[in-house]
Amino acid sequence: MLGNFTYCNPTKLYFGRDALNGLNEELPKYGKNVLLVYGGGSIKKNGIYDKVVAILKANGKEIFEDGGVMPNPTSDKLEEGVRRAEAANADLILAVGGGSVCDYAKAVSVSVNCGGDPWEKYFIRFEEPTCKIIPVGCVLTMVGTGSEMNGGSVITNHAQKLKIGHVFGENVFPKFSVMNPEFTFTLPKYQMIAGIYDIMSHILEQYFSGTDDNTSDYIMEGLLRSLIHSANIAVKDPTDYEARSNIMWTATWALNTLVAKGKTTDWMVHMLGQAVAAHTDATHGMTLAAVSLPYYRFIMDSGLDKFARYAVNVWHVDPKGKTAKQTAQEGLAEMEKWMISIGLVMNITELGATEEMLDGIVKSTLVMDGGYKILNAVDIRAVLLASY
């Protein structure tokens, strides 16, 4: 833990089969008008919508609806949400859905009273909100982004072919989140697996950076081992409560600021994946999966000790009689085998990326400087080509 840092995460979490009862403790803290935000309507089919509405009504709330949040929430939808929240005079935004819905709720929460174009303000100029922020609560129905306990918000602008995340401060974190692992049972397997890899990628983005000895690296190795263990169970039986609950909890701690404290981080896999998504609208976790190994193999020599440590501590590679490079390569090979075994998409062609898109994806890829190697446009093209 070499750097100076502050840590504060005030979000209250209600976890478990009875987590939704937490709404009865939280709702009385806020005013009457609740903007209920959700996605494509699956919560109406699986009964979660009815349960939430019943609790809102029992607590005397007036409900205003904002459905139809897409998996990659757009800047156009964000503008619509701001108008709806204004019309509702919302005292609380309650997001019921996955990370996209929660991300979107946060973006609305900082835009209602702020004026200006929120896309330009927060996702191009990365300003901090200076206006009154509407409180946000989340009821999670999908796992992966960690949005339930952080300030992250990712918005896509189709006209500009950009998908950009802003990590807001504590004042934008959800005030509370409801986390019932059973709510994730009905999620299609493709989405579950994409979420699992999203979690893994969040950890690896923070792990593969720096050469210092950091407690966070040990915590991340623990989180990765837990995730792999539980994922292997969940892909066979998505209704295994214990596995799904461990995955849900791992997702939260993978990206609620803890494991980044006192260390540098990378996030280049997300930049590559988000550029692919901006052109293909593919599922977030799958875009990360498809670009990860090409990227890690490209940078491995520049962070060899950490990749060798990863192989031993996460993938149980026996380093005896091997060079660091051999150990590291074996670790990535084990990772690849595992990724294929759980059903992840391993190249961007399968996600709809065409040769004609390549120039555009390269152009849309923001470059980060915290990893083991800073990529230029030629490097980015090489990594992406390895994923075709």
222 is a contact residue toward its own copies (CB under 8 A): yes
215 is a contact residue toward its own copies (CB under 8 A): yes
Binding-site member from 125, 218, 232, 305 for its own copies (CB under 8 A): 218
Stretch that binds its own copies, among 62-70, 151-159, 240-248, 336-344 (CB under 8 A): 240-248
Q: Is 106 helix (H, G, I), strand (E, B) or coil?
A: helix
Binding-site member from 123, 207, 249, 295 for its own copies (CB under 8 A): 249
CB-count exposure of residue 314 (10 Å: 0-12, 13-18, 19+): buried
Give 61 or 263: the residue with its C-beta nearer to its own copies.
263
19 is a contact residue toward its own copies (CB under 8 A): yes
CB 32 within 8 A of CB 60: yes
Stretch that binds its own copies, among 45-53, 55-63, 210-218, 350-358 (CB under 8 A): 210-218
65 is a contact residue toward its own copies (CB under 8 A): no
R_g (Cα) of the chain, nearest Å: 20
9 is a contact residue toward its own copies (CB under 8 A): yes
CA 292 from chain center: how many Å? 15
17 is a contact residue toward its own copies (CB under 8 A): yes
Mask for 180-199, x = binds its own copies (CB under 8 A): -x------------------
How many angstroms separate the CA atoms of 206 and 294, rounded? 18
Binding-site member from 8, 115, 159, 356 for its own copies (CB under 8 A): 8
220 is a contact residue toward its own copies (CB under 8 A): yes
238 is a contact residue toward its own copies (CB under 8 A): no
Neighbour tally for 203: CB within 10 Å: 24
CB 211 within 8 A of CB 306: yes
Binding positions for its own copies, 146-185, rule CB under 8 A: 181
CB 349 within 8 A of CB 294: no
φ and ψ of 194, to 5 deg: -60, -40
Stretch that binds its own copies, among 245-253, 269-277, 340-348, 353-361 (CB under 8 A): 245-253
Least distance in Å: CB of 152 to its own copies? Answer: 19
Instruction: Provide the token pair at 348.
Output: 């961007």
Least distance in Å: CB of 10 to its own copies? Answer: 5
Least distance in Å: CB of 235 to its own copies? Answer: 15
H, E, C per residue of 252-291: HHHCCCHHHCCCCCCCHHHHHHHHHHHHHCCCHHHHHHHH
CB 383 within 8 A of CB 290: no
CA 209 from chain center: how many Å? 19
# residues near its own copies by CB under 8 A: 48
369 is a contact residue toward its own copies (CB under 8 A): no
Binding-site member from 27, 229, 274, 293 for its own copies (CB under 8 A): 229
Give 120 or 318: the residue with its C-beta nearer to its own copies.
318
Stretch that binds its own copies, among 10-18, 58-66, 153-161, 380-388 (CB under 8 A): 10-18
Binding positions for its own copies, 262-301, rule CB under 8 A: 262
**CA dist 50 → 29, 181, 283 (Å):** 22, 18, 27
Least distance in Å: CB of 52 to its own copies? Answer: 18
Q: How far apart are the first and last CA of the chain?
A: 39
Number of residues written out for the chain:
388
Give 90 or 199: the residue with its C-beta nearer to its own copies.
199
Instruction: Provide the token pair at 35.
Output: 């903007």
Binding-site member from 46, 59, 113, 226 for its own copies (CB under 8 A): 226
Give 14 or 168: the residue with its C-beta nearer to its own copies.
14
CB 182 within 8 A of CB 172: no
221 is a contact residue toward its own copies (CB under 8 A): yes
Instruction: Provide the token pair at 151.
Output: 């300030």
Instruction: Provide the token pair at 191.
Output: 């989405």
CB 108 within 8 A of CB 92: no
Q: Is 162 helix (H, G, I), strand (E, B) or coil?
A: strand
Binding-site member from 5, 44, 323, 349 for its own copies (CB under 8 A): 5
Residues that bind its own copies (CB under 8 A): 1-19, 22, 181, 212-215, 217-223, 225-226, 229-230, 241-243, 245-246, 248-250, 253, 258, 261-262
